[in-house]
Chain A
Amino acid sequence: MNMQATIEEEAVSGAAGTKTFPSSDSRKYNYFEPKGRKATHYEDVTVDVQPDPERYLAQNWIISFANGDPTYSKDWTCIKSANWHLFRAIDQEWERNHYQRQSTIVGMIENVIQNGRRSGAPSRFDKQWVGILQDHLGAYKHFEYGIGVALMNAQRRGYTQMINNALLTNSSYKLRMAQDITLYLGEIGLDIPGFDPSAGKKHWLEDEIWQDTRRAIETVMGTNDHLEQYFAINVCLEPLVGELFRNGYIAQLAAAQNDFMTPSVVSAGEADYDRNLANTAELFITLVNDPTYGAENKAILQDWLKTYGGLALSAAHNLEPLWSLPAVKIAQFAGALQAQLERIDTITNAIGLTPLARH
């Protein structure tokens, strides 16, 4: 062949395997290290989509904020890492499995509500219990909403796509949950004469029982450190307030008040939390074991545990009167709280922190 030979036309078929030439079998994204032996689908569609100067931004970020901050900054949290790119979400969520899961949950909840209402269940709820749902489940939904809003803000600030997408899906779950409860209360309210769907917000804003819970979530909304928020929410507030109420209260007591619907609606939140907790723990375990900043990070987390664990514990104690409200009292606050304290100890232990002080 000499240089004057004409260039061949493109191969007739554009299908893989038609021809062999350099890189003809390079059929994997090759610019990142998979966490396991082989990249997962989640990793392929997630890793490095948000770049940074260490990973491929040869020109660095090309717009900055007025104060000089680049498009993404490591300074947006006081946690440090020798390698921000290590973390992978345990739940491996990308768009497809996120929608599948969310859609399954809303379908399940809608079925519960539809079947329950069709059989006239809400009208058989214990009268006292109806008041509790109206006032206190009605107040609690704002807590879920606050978490969702805080995490929606947080997903702008993480240093990698993996961190920000985990914050994003967590936010999506919490905002859905807040809406689920709102719509559920509105719908059973249609079947219960005198039910006041606006009572919950009044209790959220004014009832003593809820004020420490509100203070706790407002404190989370009061910081811009996204990892502080993520830690506060999933390590402190969720076990001591969220789960305490969903699991230690609603799920334990509802059946005895003739309510088989509410636990199903609320229980979706438990499965959501398990996944988000797994992501959170994975991230903080990575950061506490960071070869350069591990000890420093651990001290910061310990500090956050003191602050937010303290706020959450005090919020939990403030909820105690709820346990004496139902007509049929089959669960005790002390037992419920004890279970949640064990839960938070398990979490902090997994991350490698000293357990939360009990006072």
Chain B
Amino acid sequence: MSLSLTSITQQKGMPIAEATRRIADLGWTPSYVKEAMAFPTDYKISRQPKDPMKQVLRSYFPMQEEKDNRVYGALDAALRGDMFRNVDQRWVEWMKLFLAIIPFPEISAARSMAMLGRLAPGDDLRTGFTMQMVDEFRHSTIQMNLKKWYMENYIDPAGFDITEAAFGKCYATTIGRQFGEAFITGDAITSANIYLQVVAETAFTNTLFVAMPSEAARNGDYALPTVFLSVQSDESRHIGNGHSLLMSILNNPDNHLLLERDIRYAFWQNHAIVDAAIGTIIEYGTRNRDKKKESYAELWHRWIYEDYYRTYMLPLEKYGIKIHHDDVHQAWEDITKNGYVHKVAQFFSAGWWANFWRIDPLDERDFDWFEYKYPGWYNEYGAWWENYRKLSKPGSVPITFADTGYVYPHRCWSNLVPCVIRDQLKVDEVDGQLYTYGSEVDRWTHKEAFSGEYKGRATPAMGRFSGRRQWEELYDGWDVADAIKDMGFVRADGKTLIAQPHLSLEEKDMWTLDHVRGNTIKAPITTLRSLSPEDREKHIAEYRKGSAIRLV
């Protein structure tokens, strides 16, 4: 028998359960001064949530440092191995969008721990919230670091160099801002527990942080997987925090109506936003067309439908929470039958000049793969992408304004993704103003969920949609060239666009402000609001019918 070193030196220690119990006992109820008002919630939480993870900071910090060492070691190795010589530019271009968005939701998740920490009774979960807070600080800054690394080492740094400024201005990142703000604004439980932990982290981090890395690796990018799989390894802690708090909330039947509302809103909006962005990046940002790999639809079925819906959401019914099965089925149909991801990708390419990354045309290999994975794809989207390729030369009409039959879409007032599944467009009035929505759930979200009252019950803590929610309204009536300049999406020579509808870096191929000047941006919602009721009805009916794309 061999003696291990630890068995000789080991001292009697405190069992971890005892350690976490003592740490939870650090809290007390103030008696001299009442604790300040927490961020508001309409939920009542009377039962103390239990800490499922049983971990202390003493072991947490070294464990995380070790993870970091592996990440930074791998980044160094990627450079030594000349990763960027073989990386697919199509892929890295989309990282300009993805990495512009993600650090803000991450740091928002850190901020939201303040809101939950104050609301959860007792101090059992405080360590869990602390670790999540520091984890999310990790995620935000490690992603900013990764982006800087791409900027320093990738052939075309334009777009990475303006990243956080671009995030605040871009018509695509607006959906990422909706996502991140939804973690921290409005009812504290709705946002930080249900939207963030119970839905975004528990369901959608798999597509964000596991599917994305796999696709990155297939495109020769070994850096993104290193960083994001390390990020994902922190998520089980966050999912545990969220579940524990959810169980305390469930305990009070008074909360059930609000839970039904919030799970519905959060599931649908997470689907709309994450599937739009990540679906597009995974399916359209890749050069890998291996027919054996899972499509986004197949990944979605495994992670969202099987793992989340069937094993996490459904069991909540036994506690008396109404689950909206029809929404989950609708989301699934939208991804498989209704081409949600394809239509969002089509939209991003339609507005390529408003981007701060380059989108190249699809080729025959891409067509072949899409047709194989999504039978009927070419029939519906083939003409669009043929046009896109044809119109990618400077001097062509920007595809948005070409005579293709494509109608620039309305935007959903709730999730801010354009209403691309056109027959699902909903229009309604809230406080006397007309709004457009991508689907019935989105209409319900704005009109019924984000309101001071829900089904006859006062909900004074619920947030409101605010700001200038539709990007198109900012530039309604502007010349495209002026809008691009205003956003700052122009290269250092003051005229070449950062965005390009192809990947050539030959100056003769690159579009400048002059190439896009003379085209005017119209905000569909402004137009719709200005129509007479009859014309509006006609417009909506036409829109819902959709239109076929013709070859230019």
Contact = CB atoms under 8 A, between A and B. Distances in A.
Interface of A: 1, 3-5, 7-11, 13-19, 21-32, 41, 44-51, 55-66, 68, 70-71, 94-96, 98-100, 102-103, 105-107, 109-110, 114, 117-118, 141-142, 145, 148-149, 152-157, 161, 164-165, 168-169, 171-172, 175-176, 178-180, 182-183, 186-187, 190, 197-198, 201, 204-205, 211, 214-215, 218-219, 221-224
Nearest first, the 4 closest Cβ-Cβ pairs linking A and B are A56-B168, A156-B114, A10-B503, A45-B144
A18 B467 contact: no
B137 A16 contact: no
B57 A96 contact: no
A85 to B, nearest CB: 12
Contacts of A107: 62
Contact size class for B?
35 or more
Contacts of A41: 145
28 contacts: A10-B360, A27-B157, A29-B148, A30-B161, A45-B148, A51-B164, A51-B168, A56-B164, A56-B166, A62-B177, A62-B465, A63-B466, A64-B464, A64-B467, A68-B464, A95-B68, A96-B72, A107-B62, A149-B126, A155-B114, A156-B112, A175-B57, A178-B23, A179-B58, A187-B14, A201-B25, A218-B35, A222-B33
B104 A50 contact: yes
A23 B141 contact: no
Contacts of A156: 39, 111-112, 114-115, 184
Nearest to B27: A145
A138 to B, nearest CB: 10
B321 interface: no
Contacts of B127: 175, 179
Interface of B: 9, 11-14, 18-19, 22-23, 25-28, 30-37, 39-40, 56-58, 61-62, 64-65, 68, 72, 82, 84-90, 92, 103-104, 107, 110-115, 117-118, 126-127, 129-130, 133-134, 137-142, 144-145, 148, 151-158, 161-169, 174, 177-178, 181-182, 184-187, 360, 392-395, 416, 452, 460-471, 474, 487, 491-493, 495-496, 498, 502-510
Contact of B505 (A19, A201, A215): A19
B33 A221 contact: yes
Contact of B58 (A55, A110, A172, A211): A110
Contact of B157 (A26, A49, A106, A164): A26
B158 A26 contact: yes
Nearest to A58: B169
A58 to B, nearest CB: 5
B61 A164 contact: no
A215 B33 CA distance: 7
Residue of B14, B34, B469, B507 contacting most chain A CB atoms (<10 Å): B14
B6 to A, nearest CB: 11
B57 A218 contact: no
Contacts of A106: 57-58, 61-62
A150 B160 CA distance: 36
Contacts of A48: 164-165
A186 B19 contact: yes
Given A45-B142, A59-B474, A171-B133, 17 more contacts: A7-B393, A7-B502, A11-B505, A14-B86, A26-B161, A48-B164, A57-B168, A59-B177, A59-B469, A62-B177, A103-B64, A117-B11, A152-B129, A179-B23, A183-B14, A186-B22, A221-B36
A198 B154 CA distance: 57
B7 to A, nearest CB: 14
Contacts of B115: 156
Nearest to A157: B114
Contacts of B62: 103, 106-107
B58 A24 contact: no
A45 B137 contact: no
A16 B492 contact: no
A155 B133 contact: yes
Contact of A64 (B185, B498, B504): B185
B481 to A, nearest CB: 16
A16 B154 contact: yes
Contacts of A154: 114
Instruction: Pick the most buried of A8, A23, A96, A155: most chain B CB atoms within 10 A of its CB.
Output: A23
A172 B11 contact: no
A222 B85 contact: no
A46 B64 CA distance: 20
Contact of A49 (B118, B164, B462, B492): B164
Contact of B137 (A98, A218, A219): A98
Contacts of B496: 21-23
A269 to B, nearest CB: 14
B61 A63 contact: no
A109 B152 CA distance: 39
Contacts of B470: 59
Contacts of A60: 466-468
A269 B184 CA distance: 31
A106 B134 CA distance: 16
A219 B34 CA distance: 8
Contacts of B104: 49-51
Contact of A15 (B37, B153, B182, B505): B153
Contacts of A178: 23, 26
B185 A71 contact: yes
A294 B340 CA distance: 53
A356 B106 CA distance: 41
B393 A24 contact: no
A275 to B, nearest CB: 16
Contacts of A161: 107
Contacts of A47: 164
B397 to A, nearest CB: 12
Contacts of B68: 95-96, 99-100
A107 B59 CA distance: 9
A355 to B, nearest CB: 26
Given A13-B85, A179-B23, A205-B28, A99 B61 contact: yes
Given A9-B504, A47-B164, A168 B134 contact: yes
B14 to A, nearest CB: 5
